[in-house]
Amino acid sequence: MDANQSTLEPPETEPTEKPAPPKRGEPRKFRANPVGSIYSQVTRQGLARYIAKLPLIDRFEAELKDLSDRDLRKYSLGLRHRAKSGESLQKLLPEAFALVRIAGARTMNMRHYEVQLIGGMIMFDGSIAEMETGEGKTLTATLPTYLYALPGKGVHVATVNDYLAARDAELMMPVYQMLGMSVGVIESQMSSEDRRKAYACDITYGTSKEFGFDFLRDRLLIRQTREQGLGVLGPLLAGKSEKNEEPVQREHYFALVDEADSVLIDDARTPLVISSIPGEAEKVAVACHQWAAQAESEFEEDEHYEYDHDKKSVELTVTGRLLVRQIPKPKLLDTVGLIDLYDYVERAIKVKRDFHSGQHYVIRDGEIVIVDESTGRIAEGRKWSYGIHQAIEAKEGVEVTVATGQAARITVQDLFLRYRHLGGMTGTASSSKGEFKKIYRLNVIKCPTNRIPQRKIWSDRVFGNSEAKWNAIVEEIREIHNQGRPVLVGTRTIEKSEHLSRLLEEVGIEHEVLNAHQVEAEAEIVSRAGQPGKVTVATNMAGRGTDIKLGEGVHQAGGLHVICTELHDSARIDRQLVGRCGRQGDPGSTRQFMALDDDCLLIGLGPKRYKKLVALGANQTGELPSYAKLFKKAQRRIENKHFGDRKVLLYHEKQRKKMHREMGQDPYLDSPD
């Protein structure tokens, strides 16, 4: 099997001789030992100003490294006093970073690399540090987090789910506690009192969803207090028994966003909404959804409705509207107007066509739970708006939860733009740097790797149809597996991960499957994925945030091999999967598989061209390498469409807020109705 190394990657061999480490405590200029060839480009990458600070950090580290734990904590408290007295954090940076570096080495035996110090400075400056997988982003985050926590105004660290928030807080807590910092975690199902305590800590870990909902609940509470006529005296008059009726959050001072592309971009199209109490029309709405779900099968495309493939919208024709009138209805629907019934039917047709179990959602404990397409994880607490969620519930025959009016709403963009200071980190941000700059005013700066990457990118393989593609994937898994190398296979949906699992079972290859059904065992499955001969099948980036460490003998065999079974809607997601191999200078390889009947071509090129490609592929037995560029073109079109959707949402949100302010209303609490 020929392997073609990407021209974008550095040379795959490390220097045979490494310089001797510096003497303990010796101040020194920047060393180029593990990453010299990369740092030679510092001027072009805009990193020179950060590298210039490294000797100063080293000098403070040398001066402070012999302090006792107690004296180190006292020194940290002294920094806090200076920060609260008005001394600039920029001036305190070298001392603060040196303290965190010492604390990391003492409590966790993990001393920050120089590239991690650079990443910390990038985030402190209000930018996004693009760091490769395995470069230690969680440890790097302690640097700007500690520095911004010094003034005592509170720091929020936003992660993609509750598990990662709790894990990162627990891992890094010893570092913060040695320096006199308190750490809290916000999780789902917490009481108001526990949330208040967590927000009162110097550093608070949580998800953007929880931070946003707490902001909305606080705003609703403040309005309620004012309407009751208590005003600022409310908390004083209420007494201890009603302390839970006080806001839980403090001011929005600094937020550090982990997996910034996932949180700030992928989640940005879904507003956070708190529903109001349902009214008398509850039973009628449920009956309408259930009736439409049953009637949907009688409507045929082109005859009864027209489907816009670009906008993914359904519109009934005149014949379709006549059919709505003719279909028998329960007596409960007698009061519902025809226009509303048309909407219910169009919605039922749309969810039948565009929302699929195992890809967009799963049914768990009798509830419809959204699957985040960009991560493959369960999106706890989220629901689709405009009646889509209820239509899916009716389609699947589970209890229909009535779509109520909104009591409060905020978008991800609005939430994070409220912070006075904002920074982030991720492994894949360069392709979206224009959007980060335009919407969040964040620069994206690529951070060098600690060691020269050894990843090999093998040539793409394109097949005429999915059957030929899956057979080739199974054969490549078998070949790599027989070499004793571990294999990680990324699929786009839960259904396809289970399909590949069945194919591997048929040929007798042992493997583990990681998708939204195994969320509790996610970290454990991923941590085993680097063992010799291990085969792991995962949806998208399930397991993102947990390092895959190579087992004994795997390094010599060639490292982890990553197989991408299908292009995703965003090239960033593909890069995230590729980034699972070749961490910290480990060897590794990756290959992309594609077929002419992949969903990417349907979504990106439209149904007419897609049908022609499917027909062409049905008659092909060999590979079709010349079509690889077509997939990239389709992917770019999808990315542009999604970017357009986010821009439209941002524009409408700005207009909505402007309208509310002109009317003297609260843009977060008052419904546009």
Binding residues for ATP: 116, 134-138, 547
In whole angstroms, what is the distance from residue 379 CA to residue 272 CA? 12
Could you tell me which of 100, 108, 3, 106 has the C-alpha nearest to residue 60?
100
In whole angstroms, what is the distance from residue 116 CA to residue 126 CA? 16
In whole angstroms, what is the distance from residue 40 CA to residue 55 CA? 17
Neighbours of 138 (CB within 10 A): 18
Six token digits for residue 331: 């007596």
Q: Is 14 left (phi over 0), alpha (psi -120 to 50) or beta?
A: beta
Six token digits for residue 578: 């590729």
Cα torsion angle, 215, 220, 226, 231, sign: negative
In whole angstroms, what is the distance from residue 282 CA to residue 400 CA? 10
In whole angstroms, what is the distance from residue 485 CA to residue 483 CA? 6
CA dihedral defined by 328, 331, 336, 342, rounded to 10 degrees?
A: -20
Six token digits for residue 254: 């600094």
Six token digits for residue 394: 């009716």
In whole angstroms, what is the distance from residue 222 CA to residue 247 CA? 7
Could you tell me which of 629, 490, 495, 634 has the C-alpha nearest to residue 570?
634
Cα distances (angstroms) measured from residue 409 to each of 193, 382, 412, 627, 656:
23, 13, 10, 44, 11
CB 540 within 8 A of CB 577: yes
Neighbours of 289 (CB within 10 A): 25
| Helices and strands (DSSP H and E) totals, the chain | 28, 20
Annotated binding site: 116, 134-138, 547
